[in-house]
Amino acid sequence: MNIETFSDAELLARTAAERIKETCEAATKVRGTFHLALAGGTTPKRCYELLASMHLPWNKLHIYFGDERCLPTGHVERNDTMAKQVWLDHVAIPNTQIHAMPAELGPNEGAARYTHILEKAPQLDLILLGLGEDGHTASLFPHNPALDDKHLAVPVFDAPKPPSKRISMGVHYINTAREKWFLVSGKNKHNVMIKIIDAAPLPATQITNAQWLVESTS
């Protein structure tokens, strides 16, 4: 595993933001665009706040979301709402290049429509991922049927965390990204990181060749 540890969450977020900027600049120089999928949660939120004050080729970015909660558009608990509030609404990314999951349509219809969007998209340059205490990532939870769904975007029912209905990028699609970065902070993640290092059969360990940026819990 490629694990890099940081003394605190702020340093982790700043490092991630700087590296996203560097990765974006490199991708746009080679391919003309940068296709980035976002995670929800506290650690990415701080990273997004930092990105909002940076100078990137915003008009060349395409933004996607690794998962979403089936809540009305604009709901405070949606991942895209958070990303817009702290970052996306403050930079010049064209609205047509922000590809929100239509989770307000429900898991099945929303996942089907997002699959069509992803089918038309180039290979993701980078996907940011989080880690739950139970080893889930995106909205792929242990023992949930969504883990075995081969579609690009998958419906999620009976999630153990509310809301129970969600949409997630599928494991197979996540693994097609050029780069996959886990951003992990909080002392409550110590035990699950031990399991991850031991290659326990968890959703997060199904993501291959990922880079792990982890806040030290020592």
pLDDT by residue (tens digit) across 4-28?
999 999 999 999 999 999 999 999 9
| Percent of the chain whose predicted confidence (pLDDT) is above 90 | 96
What number of helices (H) and strands (E) belong to the chain? Answer: 6, 9
pLDDT by residue (tens digit) across 142-181?
999 999 999 999 999 999 999 999 999 999 999 999 999 9
DSSP for 139-206? Answer: TB-TT-GGGG--SSEEEE-S-SSSSS-EEEE-HHHHTTSSEEEEEE-SGGGHHHHHHHHTT-S-GGGG
For residues 194-214, b (16+ Cβ closer than 10 Å) or e, as one string? eebeeeeebbbbebeebbbbb
CB neighbour list of residue 14: distance below 8 Å, 6 or more residues apart: 50
Q: Which residue ranges make up each domain of the chain?
A: 2-207
pTM of the model: 0.97
- Domain 2-207 fold: Rossmann fold (3.40.50)
